[in-house]
């Protein structure tokens, strides 16, 4: 038994879980008409309804006791004050400083001053691109932005640009992440090198996919405009300015961010440059402000009303006490269709670990598999599995109160579907026909955004960021490293040369597959 599971709070939760095992959520609503409001918390303009979770007020009280036992409040202070919460890499994780105004130092450096300097540079560049005063090599203004990056250097800006598309009045942005050459080919189609600005976002500036795309885009620019054009058409967002300069991007075109910004927490940094260019710096700053408002609540709200913490606790309850290994994120907003992908990296790269920060096994299941799709598209794909599959999942419904398109009636149809699905998952159906019966009692949270605008989006993303941090503390994990992704990268590095040469050193299984590819593809 691990120290986590042998703790008094954990033991109390196990006993409580067994005591309420036969209680259905539906019946809790019947017993307590005030359940909806009682289990709903406000957070920086968002509203989080936990009343369809399979828990009671007593469950929450016991979960909060666990949070106290695991010293989540102390860990939150360590996060905000720049302590080395990323213990395996010995550094702070200060993404909150990118959107806050509190004084904080990291490694003796005044973080606030650094952040403000970086943001001012972003502001003047984004403004120059938008107003046309930044000219390309032929003297023409920028008409398109090609944003290259992957993982955290891609998912956040893409989510924001898509979600806030109606505010976009700057040059349109095309995002390319995949090393598959088709991705860049498709993005370049119809673009004119003379009016295209390439933003290369990479914390390390060594990521294979991003560098391959950046080199290909560079060739495309140079072939049309000559070598000198690189300085007018390429900028970088990176924590490794030297690497970007070695690539050929002049120092004045490098928008830095600090090492203490984790890749999947970096949309608030210069990685957000495509957002600032597309929407304007004021909108980007409202996005930051929405996140900062959640930071303030996460840092100061009592655990019983602390939305990110309660969402984290409900997730842990579902995973470890109810045994749900899958988490579905269901945004009822077409413009949030990239949210599940964004959260997949945020949650699964941060929490997809079974070894605690001190090197010991956690001893209980951690991060569930996360997937999702915009409602109502998912309803016609995988909801059958949600309703009648053998496993069940915990669901997050993300809904937006104000209509996002021109037709109010269609928006009401969208909302009706969201409400119907969360009700159906809870109530289930008993018909006497086993094929038609739905077990119900499948837990969900509903998060309401008043409108799909920058502050609400910032708040939503920050809510999930802090949920992840709180869960990491509860499980004892370091949320900020990702050593698991390195193995595949290293093996790919060994395999690539074998395409052109000797494959004798490859693993026999890989040699076998490479042989299949050689026979199937004439070029190999």
Measured at the alpha carbon of residue 156, what is the angle toward residues 263 and 209, in degrees to the nearest 5? 60
Tokens of 461: 């993303």
Size of the chain in residues? 524
Does 485 engage in binding with ligand F6P (CB under 6 A)? yes
What is the rounded CA–CA span in Å between residue 294 and residue 467? 11
Question: What is the phi/psi pair of residue 355, to 5°?
Answer: -115, 130
Shortest CB 297 distance to ligand F6P, Å: 26
What does the per-residue mask of binding to ligand F6P show for 263-302, with x meaning CB under 6 A? xx--------------------------------------
Per DSSP, the three-state class of 199 is: strand
Q: Is the peptide bond before 292 cis (omega within 30 degrees of 0)?
A: no
Shortest CB 443 distance to ligand F6P, Å: 29
Could you tell me which stretch among 62-70, 150-158, 280-288, 326-334 binds ligand F6P (CB under 6 A)?
A: 150-158
> Pick the catalytic residue: 285, 347, 349, 453?
349
DSSP string, 451-468: SSSHHHHHHHHHHHHHHH
Number of residues that bind ligand F6P (CB under 6 A): 14
> Pick the catalytic residue: 14, 408, 412, 489?
489
- On whether the CB atoms of residues 459 and 160 are closer than 8 A, the answer is no
For the chain, give me the number of helices (H) and strands (E)? 21, 13
Shortest CB 304 distance to ligand F6P, Å: 34
Question: What is the phi/psi pair of residue 173, to 5°?
Answer: -110, 135
Our answer to whether residue 297 is catalytic in this structure is no
What is the rounded CA–CA span in Å between residue 375 and residue 378? 6
- On whether the CB atoms of residues 87 and 478 are closer than 8 A, the answer is yes
| Binder among 86, 153, 306, 478 for ligand F6P (CB under 6 A) | 153
Helix (H) or strand (E) holding 106: strand 105-106
DSSP label of 355: B
Does 51 engage in binding with ligand F6P (CB under 6 A)? no
| Binder among 105, 127, 204, 379 for ligand F6P (CB under 6 A) | 204
257 vs 287, beta carbon nearer ligand F6P: 257
Could you tell me which stretch among 200-208, 299-307, 438-446, 507-515 binds ligand F6P (CB under 6 A)?
A: 200-208
Could you tell me which stretch among 56-64, 149-157, 366-374, 490-498 binds ligand F6P (CB under 6 A)?
A: 149-157
Our answer to whether residue 467 is catalytic in this structure is no
| Binder among 60, 129, 150, 221 for ligand F6P (CB under 6 A) | 150
For tokens 């809904």, name the residue: 399
Which residues from 208-227 bind ligand F6P, rule CB under 6 A? 210
| Binder among 151, 274, 303, 368 for ligand F6P (CB under 6 A) | 151
| Binder among 51, 56, 202, 444 for ligand F6P (CB under 6 A) | 202
Our answer to whether residue 489 is catalytic in this structure is yes
Could you tell me which stretch among 78-86, 145-153, 250-258, 331-339 binds ligand F6P (CB under 6 A)?
A: 145-153
What does the per-residue mask of binding to ligand F6P show for 325-354, with x meaning CB under 6 A? ------------------------x-----
Measured at the alpha carbon of residue 462, what is the angle toward residues 202 and 298, in degrees to the nearest 5? 135
- On whether the CB atoms of residues 271 and 289 are closer than 8 A, the answer is no
Measured at the alpha carbon of residue 466, what is the angle toward residues 461 and 337, in degrees to the nearest 5? 25
Tokens of 100: 């806050």
What is the rounded CA–CA span in Å between residue 259 and residue 97? 13
Could you tell me which stretch among 103-111, 147-155, 449-457, 469-477 binds ligand F6P (CB under 6 A)?
A: 147-155
Which residues from 398-437 bind ligand F6P, rule CB under 6 A? none
Shortest CB 238 distance to ligand F6P, Å: 8
263 vs 372, beta carbon nearer ligand F6P: 263
Q: Is 441 left (phi over 0), alpha (psi -120 to 50) or beta?
A: left
Active-site positions? Answer: 349, 380, 489
Positions in the binding site for ligand F6P (CB under 6 A) = 150-153, 202-204, 207, 210, 263-264, 349, 482, 485
């Amino acid at each position: 038994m691990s120290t986590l599971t042998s703790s008094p709070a954990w033991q109390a939760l196990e006993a409580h879980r067994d005591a309420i095992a036969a209680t259905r959520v539906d019946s809790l609503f019947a017993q307590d008409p005030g359940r909806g409001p009682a289990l709903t918390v406000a957070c920086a303009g968002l509203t989080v309804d936990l009343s369809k979770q399979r828990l009671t007020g007593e469950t929450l009280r016991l979960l909060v006791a666990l949070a106290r036992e695991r010293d989540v409040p102390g860990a939150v202070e360590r996060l905000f004050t720049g302590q080395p919460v990323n213990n395996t890499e010995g550094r702070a994780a200060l993404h909150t400083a990118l959107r806050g105004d509190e004084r904080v130092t990291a490694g003796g450096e005044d973080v606030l001053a650094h952040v403000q300097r970086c943001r001012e540079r972003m502001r003047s560049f984004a403004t120059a691109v938008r107003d046309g005063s930044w000219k390309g090599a032929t003297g023409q203004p920028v008409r398109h932005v090609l944003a290259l990056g992957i993982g955290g250097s891609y998912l956040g800006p893409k989510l924001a640009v898509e979600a806030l598309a109606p505010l976009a009045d700057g040059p349109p942005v095309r995002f390319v992440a995949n090393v598959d050459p088709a991705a860049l080919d498709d993005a370049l189609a119809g673009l004119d090198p003379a009016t295209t600005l390439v933003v290369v976002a990479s914390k390390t500036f060594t990521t294979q996919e991003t560098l391959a795309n950046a080199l290909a885009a560079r060739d495309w620019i140079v072939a049309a405009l000559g070598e000198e054009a690189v300085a007018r058409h390429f900028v970088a967002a990176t924590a490794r300015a030297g690497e970007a300069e070695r690539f050929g991007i002049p120092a004045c075109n490098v928008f830095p961010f600090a090492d203490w910004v984790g890749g999947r927490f970096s949309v608030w940094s210069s990685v957000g440059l495509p957002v600032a260019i597309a929407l304007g710096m004021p909108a980007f700053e409202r996005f930051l402000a929405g996140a900062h408002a959640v930071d303030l609540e996460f840092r100061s709200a009592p655990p019983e009303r602390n939305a990110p913490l309660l969402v984290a606790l409900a997730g842990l309850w579902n995973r470890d006490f109810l045994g749900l290994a899958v988490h579905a994120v269901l945004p009822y907003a077409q413009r949030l269709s990239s949210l599940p992908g964004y959260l997949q990296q945020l949650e699964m790269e941060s929490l997809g670990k079974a070894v605690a920060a001190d090197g010991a096994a956690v001893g209980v299941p951690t991060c569930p598999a996360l997937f999702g799709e915009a409602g109502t598209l998912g309803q016609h794909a995988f909801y059958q599995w949600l309703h009648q599959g053998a496993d069940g999942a915990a669901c997050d419904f993300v809904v937006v109160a104000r209509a996002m398109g021109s037709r109010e009636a269609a928006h009401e149809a969208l909302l009706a579907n969201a409400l119907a699905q969360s009700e159906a998952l809870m109530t289930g159906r008993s018909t006497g026909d086993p094929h038609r019966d739905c077990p119900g009692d499948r837990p969900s949270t509903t998060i309401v955004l008043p409108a799909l605008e920058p502050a609400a989006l910032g708040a939503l993303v920050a809510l999930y960021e802090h949920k992840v941090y709180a869960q990491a503390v509860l499980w004892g994990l370091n949320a900020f490293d990702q050593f698991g992704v390195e193995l595949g990268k290293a093996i790919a590095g060994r395999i690539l040369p074998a395409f052109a040469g000797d494959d004798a050193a490859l693993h026999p299984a890989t040699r076998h597959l490479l042989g299949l590819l050689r026979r199937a593809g004439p070029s190999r």
